[in-house]
Structure 1
């Protein structure tokens, strides 16, 4: 597996890129690792998404995957967003709105919302001061 890695590049303090070589008929793959700021400073969050979108659009791999922590709750949609964002979450926060905008502008698909769970199994971790689980 290691011989298939082309390179890893730290693009910013919050975004990295792992490039995998073309392997026979399988096209090249780029995996972006991203960790959005937890800050409530809008400028910092906006700069993060601008950088991520720029790096995403500049990359010419056939397959691109973005993984990481976006501090986002992407719950029921407020606008018709089609296949890009499903409505299987519980709530939506400001970070979720920003992530949704990014997904729509880059025409990507958010994979972990494609699977429907019963409402009783939908939850997220919360800070112990605020409560351990949010339902």
Structure 2
């Protein structure tokens, strides 16, 4: 069974907000967390030492929207 979560980020424009997501995610059991309203102007792909991978897309020119996904350690190697 796969555990898929959703999270309305409201913004991931700052590094602090991304780090907060990672701290919160480590407190729950998940395989994939789908992220909405990331509002980033530049894409981001980060592989953490723990094996988790974070993919964030961009928002539109007005700073609206944006999606991403956080993949847990055991699934990241399959991407």
TM-score by length of 2: 0.46
Give the structure with the higher percent strand.
2
In terms of fraction of residues, the more helix-rich structure is 1
Whichever of the two has the greater Rg, that structure is: 1
Query: RCO greater where, 1 or 2, for CA within 8 Å and sep 6 or more?
Result: 2
